[in-house]
A and B are shown apart, each in its own frame.
Chain A
Amino acid sequence: MIIPTHPMWLAGAVAVWLALWTANVTLAQSRGRAARIAMPILFGAALLVLWEGIVRAYQVSPVILPPPSTIAQTFAASLPMLWADFVQTVIKGALSGFVIGVAAAFVVAIVIDRSPFLQKGLLPIGNFVAALPIVGLAPILVMWFGFDWHSKAAVVVVMVFFPVLINLVAGLKASERMQRDLMATWGASYWQSLFKLRLPAAMPFFFNGLKIASTLALIGAIVAEFFGSPIVGLGFRISAEIGRLGLDIVWAEIVVAALAGSVLYGAIALTERWVTFWHPSQRR
């Protein structure tokens, strides 16, 4: 083991880590709701303290790994720039593409649901395409739609489309024969039975697709920026600052990306709980 330059920092960090871990071991005994929330927070805090301690103890150069405190300072100091990048990549690129892609998949799913022939033809192809590395389309779409956010949104549309389509088509089959027959005996029209029975029954599948799509959307928007972008955006900033060794800014951008991804996922999970409250997986 290499001798640290400032052993006190290392000792302190390890001590805090051990204390927090012991706290978690104790918390694990209880089954309360508070413990369930506190444990991951303590674990995350312990990781940050350990990171800070190791970086300071070994005097790691900030161009290799900046400590969390520096990253937090940079984050607070460059809020306007981070906000502009966030708007460019997440709101304009990822979110608009996400909405368009999901809407398109929704419409197509309902259309091909009416035709068994199209289902037999499109589903195997859709299944296959969903497993392909669609990010590879990014350079081509950047060539077509230019460097601004339109090309990023286009990449996101393509990436999001297939997972949502497949899940929704599977979901539209999820209602049972008996339930559909019941709708028929009530004289329900196709649309009535679609809106009152089959779409609600498809919602758990639909949200599954949305969750997969939410991560893909951010990946697509950031990857597309590696192939050309205006001088704003998460992906642009990351590759530019890596070149200038501004690693604290890179980490601040990573924090932004992580927050955006988690918030998007969380929002979908909350909506899911609200829409599919009747599903067994949502009962508590």
Chain B
Amino acid sequence: MSRALPILTVLAAILAIWYAATIWMNATWVFDQAERNGQTVTWAEVIPQTMTQDRPLLPPPHQVAANLWQGIAGQAITSKRSLVYHAFVTFRGTMAGFGLGILLGVGLAMAIVRYRVMDGSVMPWAIISQTIPIVALAPMILTLSNSVGIDGKEVPKAIISAYLSFFPVFVSMIKGLRSPDQMQLDLLKTYGAGEGATFFKLRLPASLPYFFASLKVAVAAALIGTIVGELPSGAIEGLGARMLIGSQFGEPLIMWAALFAAAILAGLLIVAVGLVERLANRRMGGVA
């Protein structure tokens, strides 16, 4: 209870500010409209009108909620107008990018921990790769994969998403694989363990907590990558595409609904990954 009260207070404050902003931002349109018709309107008439516009500058929360509900529950989930359908397309892309990112991150980390050459030559570039804004590369990846003969947007979307999500896994795995100390490594040497055995019996198990801790960041990054990947692709499916469509056709409600659907999807993904992390920790005898 002591944790819920402050959060609820802040949420209520955000809602109150949102409503106030709605009235303030949408009122101009109402006044213009009235002036054009030669009427004068009082504030008592303005306020209800700011809540029900078709193309508001800022839709009030209940309008967004209604639109979101309409998009989620009001359609058959196979319909092109259903947000569940678009969220599923984005989810599929996110999972592909997330999986690819994990493979890439773990693989690169293994190579770098094993080979000094890789550490010296690839490691700095892996860091630099993250300072390059992926969105600049995204349209390029789309054209390239198109001309190589890959149809559809799934593969390039997954590549863009993996580009963002591999890094947290990569960094944590390097830390994790290097976490066994000299004493433990020496002990395995006295057992006559080879390189493979040391890797599978010591380094890999030691790195697992680091691995799971990185997954939450990685999945959030994968979702951002997927949405960004949907923007320049001219895609018509997915939450990013919905935002683009809403922007191009001047339909703010579509944008807001897509934005909140993306937020809900992000929340679900993070909770799911958090559950996996807790389960894994428990299996490995941790307390958390």
**B-contacting residues of A (Cβ < 8 Å)?**
21, 24-25, 27-29, 35-36, 39-40, 42-44, 64-65, 117-122, 124-125, 128, 131-133, 135-140, 142-144, 214-215, 218-219, 222-223, 226-228, 234-235, 238-239, 242, 247, 250-251, 253-254, 257-258, 261-262, 264-265
Contact = CB atoms under 8 A, between A and B. Distances in A.
B10 A122 contact: yes
B134 A143 contact: no
B125 A40 contact: yes
Nearest to B123: A40
Nearest to B231: A226
B144 interface: yes
Given A121-B6, A133-B227, A40 B120 contact: yes
B120 A27 contact: yes
B132 A227 contact: no
Nearest to A60: B147
A-B complex: 4 closest residue pairs judged by Cβ atoms: A121-B6, A43-B121, A121-B10, A139-B247
Interface of B: 2-3, 6-11, 14, 57, 115-117, 119-125, 128, 130-137, 139-140, 143-144, 147, 216, 220, 223-224, 227-228, 231-232, 239-240, 243-244, 246-247, 250, 252, 255-256, 258-259, 262-263, 266-267, 270
B98 to A, nearest CB: 14
Given A136-B227, A144-B57, A235-B135, A228 B117 contact: no
B143 A222 contact: no
Given A128-B267, A140-B256, A215-B130, A24 B262 contact: no
Given A120-B6, A214-B131, A254 B140 contact: yes
Contact of B266 (A124, A132, A223, A226): A132
A42 B122 CA distance: 10
Given A136-B262, A261-B131, 16 more contacts: A29-B116, A39-B117, A43-B121, A117-B6, A131-B220, A140-B255, A140-B256, A143-B57, A143-B250, A219-B135, A222-B133, A238-B136, A242-B140, A242-B232, A257-B136, A264-B131
Contacts of B128: 258, 262
Contacts of B121: 24, 39-40, 42-43
A279 B160 CA distance: 35
A238 B220 contact: no
Nearest to A227: B247
A192 B184 CA distance: 46
Contacts of B130: 215
A212 B128 CA distance: 13
B108 to A, nearest CB: 13
A27 B120 CA distance: 9
B10 A253 contact: no
A143 B3 CA distance: 37
B259 A140 contact: yes
A257 to B, nearest CB: 4
B125 A44 contact: yes
Given A28-B116, A64-B143, A118-B10, A136 B259 contact: yes
Contact of A227 (B125, B140, B143, B244): B244
B139 A238 contact: yes
Q: Which of B10, B134, B143, B256: most chain A CB closer than 10 A?
A: B10
Contact of B231 (A143, A144, A214, A223): A223
Nearest to A43: B121
B163 to A, nearest CB: 12
B34 to A, nearest CB: 22
B266 A228 contact: no
Contact of B117 (A24, A131, A218, A258): A24
Contacts of A219: 133-135, 228
11 contacts: A24-B121, A44-B125, A64-B143, A133-B220, A140-B255, A215-B131, A222-B133, A226-B244, A227-B244, A247-B140, A258-B128
A183 B135 CA distance: 47
Contacts of B216: 131
A80 B10 CA distance: 48
A132 B123 CA distance: 28
A257 B129 CA distance: 11
Nearest to B245: A139
Contacts of A125: 7, 10-11, 14
A143 B247 contact: yes
A250 B9 CA distance: 48
A258 B125 CA distance: 12
B270 A218 contact: no
Contact of A121 (B9, B135, B259): B9
A133 B262 contact: yes
